[in-house]
Structure 1
């Protein structure tokens, strides 16, 4: 996705730092090992603030630091590793609202020239009904000899959803499995254009609770992490198995 992002960005105010795979879990690593990690070093240099006692907020080169990852388990893990790094070594960036998480669409549904980007499975169900109605309305306005048998969006989607593109006789449903599947223009339109993109700002409501959560989930205390997972298992959404 780094290549598409570099090509699709607005060079006047956007910079891209591609990361190769998963960065170091800084919650478990010594600071010397962390500073020796190439991905972490590149990020520190790109931000311009330095870290620890040498951290200078006013040297931050960018107003918004946006994390862009795929909407799958690996993407969530990479996002968590980055958030751990920011929380532990760049806390002021989190406290002052400089850290954001990009929200790329999961689906695109289209019928003719009408299309909509969809950001969750719940939104997809709503969009299916909307486009089913659109297909039905268009069909009812056609002359009888031009009407063809059309499959409602909701019926075809369940069978074809795993394909990169799912074509029904009525509407096209495309599932984005990763940012790398988007060409530069599409990535700009959906995820990087300030006029249309969706982002979540990272902020801390309870610093003590946040500290405990990072320690439990990213630290070396396995029993505590196991207990946390068992306690919150019922509330998990979008489990990827």
Structure 2
């Protein structure tokens, strides 16, 4: 077919029902995929850079994008009211294969927006899929394991800790097996959410203080008596607090500025954005479960002559290091780091791979969400994220 784009490494199969195409970000990943594929029925289309945000682009501007034109030519359906014909689709499995990081997620969302807007039938007929490449390769002796994400990796290490370690708490209770696994899991989630909030500009010391002061529900941050107590405790802990008020458009939450007198002296504003954040909600939940261990003295069996550990972060670090002992761990920064055989085995082999089928159960609702999240208007997007953030563990459309 002369109209096929040069970038496309096509497959030998001509029956769309038995053919699949991988849309891959970047040339290095495209190279590995081309070498690793089964060329009988697997085609590879590498795309460079971020594809246009079609939600914000006019049709003519969209059609001037080389990446979009390449994609349309490879699929064979044409585009627009006069040209588009789903019956000309060359592959009945269209698989988006991007890196397992934030950039990869963004490119995936842009591609999903394109298909949703311009080729909704692809989704309605069940032809659109998302590949699940692993984030880690772990070697334990002669055993090799591929782990798909951070959560699964932590679980892998947790299982090893639970099998091998025993921790005594205050020299009275012993934790091993599932009980120890649950404690370590809570500590991981505790520090993960502190790290996420720290990235938004709040000091880790302030965040830990906030969840240790008995705040188990966001409504307390509207309560004057509770907040007065918080302000005086903050001063005792060496923070300075100023510009205290109650926000008018923030649904009655207190707002104030905190000046950190230690750790380089950063300052930051605290308002409803923090109090209603999903990270703080998760942190308050996990903090409740960790409450019995506040101020506890821990000992790890066989660790440094019964050394006493009083800090949660030190306990977590020691246990995670013990859990990783003897393992060779490789974290993939991108698909291009995998050699062709690894990419085939983990992500492309129909016998072993996991694919997510893209479904739109409620096309109207999805249509609205795409318009809000990918469109031009900032205010509805802010409103949507604010009202839905607490219900969403991980936004993966």
Structure 1 length as normaliser, TM-score? Answer: 0.82
Corresponding residue for 1:48? 76
CA distance in 2, matches of 1:71, 1:157: 26
1:147-162 superposed matches below 5 A? 155-156=320-321
Decide whether aligned partners of structure 1 residues 238 and 94 sit closer, same or farther in structure 2, where only a CA change above 3 A counts: closer
1:189 matched to 2:345? The reply is yes
Corresponding residue for 2:62? 34
Corresponding residue for 2:388? 232
1:119 aligned residue (137, 143, 148) = 148
CA distance in 1, matches of 2:97, 2:382: 28
Corresponding residue for 1:90? 119
Secondary structure of the 2:47 match is: coil
The 10-residue stretch of structure 1 (67-76 or 227-236) with the greater mean CA deviation from structure 2: 227-236
Would you say the 8 A contact 1:132–1:153 is kept in 2?
no
Corresponding residue for 1:25? 53
Corresponding residue for 2:38? 10
1:58 matched to 2:87? The reply is yes
Q: Deviations over 1:164-195 (max 9, x none)?
A: xxxx6511122112111111111111111111
Tell me by how many angstroms 1:133 deviates: 7.5
Corresponding residue for 2:211? none
Corresponding residue for 1:105? 134
Secondary structure of the 1:24 match is: coil
Structure number with the higher strand fraction is 2
Corresponding residue for 1:78? 107
Tell me by how many angstroms 1:234 deviates: 3.3
Would you say the 8 A contact 1:44–1:50 is kept in 2?
yes
Decide whether aligned partners of structure 1 residues 169 and 112 sit closer, same or farther in structure 2, where only a CA change above 3 A counts: same
CA distance in 2, matches of 1:172, 1:71: 20
CA distance in 2, matches of 1:124, 1:10: 29
Tell which has more relative contact order, 1 or 2 (C-alpha 8 A, sep 6+): 1
Instruction: State which structure, 1 or 2, has the greater radius of gyration over its C-alpha atoms.
Output: 2
Secondary structure of the 1:108 match is: strand
Structure 1, unpaired ranges of 5+? 137-151, 159-167
Would you say the 8 A contact 2:161–2:322 is kept in 1?
no
Corresponding residue for 2:286? none
Would you say the 8 A contact 1:5–1:16 is kept in 2?
yes
Structure 2, unpaired ranges of 5+? 1-28, 166-316
Would you say the 8 A contact 1:153–1:170 is kept in 2?
no
CA distance in 2, matches of 1:58, 1:115: 43
- What CA RMSD, in Å, does the superposition of the two structures yield over aligned residues? 2.4
Task: Give the number of equivalent residue pairs.
Answer: 216
Tell me by how many angstroms 1:92 deviates: 0.5
CA distance in 1, matches of 2:325, 2:132: 29
CA distance in 1, matches of 2:96, 2:329: 26
